[in-house]
């Protein structure tokens, strides 16, 4: 097998980016507390991992503002944003640092910020970290979980927050 040329690799990377833009994904506010401060980012690379023990995996870009705090703490939260949390998502995209928490009803659970109005929230203890490419995969065992009934998820599709029931059909 021959090694891909730089041009082939760039074409492959662009095809990957374009394809991933059209994979609808739930929007999560991943948060933690470190050194007396709250930290968080919006993410879509979150997944359930196991039911025994109940656990999640979260993939964080190593250049993201949340990466270092996540590396230095043992707990984190995954807040599943619903359509009613669009203001929180907008705040997270506009602001940095503590300013991200200026909108929403945030409470502290196991030392991490949890959005009281989130569709669902999971507080985890980090049990494993694995670096791969540009990201670190954080595996967390569940410490606490909460769910709001009948909450429609906030979804990210083609670089926009959408109501999944209104997802546009592909033009081609």
pLDDT digits (tens, 9 = 90+) for 124-159: 999 999 999 999 999 999 999 999 887 788 989 888
- CA pseudo-torsion sign 116, 118, 124, 126: negative
The mean pLDDT value of the chain amounts to 91
The pLDDT of residue 170 is above 80: no
pLDDT of residue 24: 86
Q: Residue 97: pLDDT band by 50, 70, 90 thresholds?
A: very high
Rounded to 5°, angle at Cα 15 from 12 and 17: 110
Q: What is the dihedral of CA 148, 152, 156, 161, to 10 degrees?
A: -110
Q: Which domains does the chain have, with CATH numbers?
A: 25-157 (2.30.110.10)
The pLDDT of residue 45 is above 80: yes
């Amino acid at each position: 097998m021959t090694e891909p040329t730089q041009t082939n690799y760039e074409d492959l990377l662009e095809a990957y980016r374009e394809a991933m833009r059209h994979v609808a994904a739930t929007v999560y506010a991943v948060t933690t507390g470190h050194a007396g401060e709250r930290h968080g980012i919006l993410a879509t690379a979150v997944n359930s991992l196991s039911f025994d023990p109940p656990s999640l995996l979260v993939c964080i870009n190593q250049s993201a503002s949340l990466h270092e705090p996540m590396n230095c703490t043992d707990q984190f939260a995954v807040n599943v944003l619903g359509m009613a949390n669009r203001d929180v998502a907008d705040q997270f995209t506009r602001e940095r640092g503590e300013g991200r928490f200026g909108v929403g009803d945030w409470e502290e659970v196991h030392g991490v910020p949890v959005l009281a109005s989130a569709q669902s929230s999971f507080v985890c203890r980090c049990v494993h970290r694995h670096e791969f490419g540009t990201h670190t995969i954080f595996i967390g065992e569940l410490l606490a979980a909460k769910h709001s009934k009948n909450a429609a998820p906030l979804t990210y599709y083609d670089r926009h927050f959408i109501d999944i029931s209104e997802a546009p059909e592909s033009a081609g």
